[in-house]
Amino acid sequence: MSSFKIIPGDPDSHVILHVPHSSREIPSRVRTGILLDDAQLKLELDEMTDSHTDQLAYESAKIAGKQPWIFINELSRLVIDPERFPDDREAMNSVGMGAVYHKNSHGLKLRTSEFDQELLDKYFHPYALAIEALVNERLLALNRCLIIDVHSYRPIAHANSMNKDDLRPAICIGTDPFHTSRSLYESARSAFAFIGDIVENQPYSGTYVPLKHYEKDARVEAIMMEIRADTFLDDVLTPTCGLAQIVAGLQQLVRSAST
Ligand SMILES: [Zn+2]
């Protein structure tokens, strides 16, 4: 099983929709290292998975005019989290949720650390290299690249989160001082304004950029859309009519960035 999938976009599109957290898939060998029974694992995946964000990307890409590229993680973030730093820079290490999670959303032990290196070698590093290569390819073709990082988050902060005192708006826009221009931020605000309240960098901040380009290559722009899950999913994580609105917002952002 490949751990990620790239869906090609228009050769003239510099936009990549990155979907890192939508999958619930865990390879059987990795499953055996997770210290939860099946019922507990289902609850953990309900809490931690950005459910249906892959659908948001697919549907918005189809109607965005110039079709963006899609890079999607086909494995659960409980295997590896591709958006964490794989080293001491990662603040989430302090709560056991770095590149390889050792704790679950309740702060309880999720796995031992004996397979960390294997997980990083088998899944984290190949993923990082593949998205870096896709960014390089877009740069080579068009001399610019925009990564739109597509996430959702739960209405109520989980027990092991580090942002319990932050606001939890309908839409959180994650920005980076080096990679997110103000005009890109404003485009995202106006594309999603009709959904509800929008806050920058709360409860999640920053946005994903491959480490090779991070704070080095200004041709790589990036922005993170964190969509509060109750704007498009019901209590059992089934899409509501709100999903079409989020898709409309996302395709609007892709369109405005593509001009
Ligand atoms: Zn996420």
pLDDT score recorded for residue 49:
98
> Contact 201/173 with Cβ under 8 angstroms?
yes
Q: Which residues surround the ion ligand 1 when the cut-off is CB under 5 Å?
A: 21, 50, 151
Pick the closest to residue 219 from 131, 128, 140 (CA basis): 140
> Contact 34/26 with Cβ under 8 angstroms?
yes
pLDDT score recorded for residue 230:
97
Mean pLDDT of 92-121: 92
Give 54 Cα–ligand 1 centroid separation in angstroms.
11
Give 185 Cα–ligand 1 centroid separation in angstroms.
19
Mean pLDDT of the chain: 95
* pLDDT-based confidence at residue 160 (cuts at 50, 70, 90): confident
Question: In the chain, what are the domains?
Answer: 4-257 (3.40.630.40)
Minimum mean pLDDT range among 44-53, 82-91, 229-238: 82-91
pLDDT score recorded for residue 140:
98
pLDDT at 170 over 80: yes
Alpha-carbon span 146 to 116, nearest angstrom = 31
Q: The whole model's pTM is what?
A: 0.96
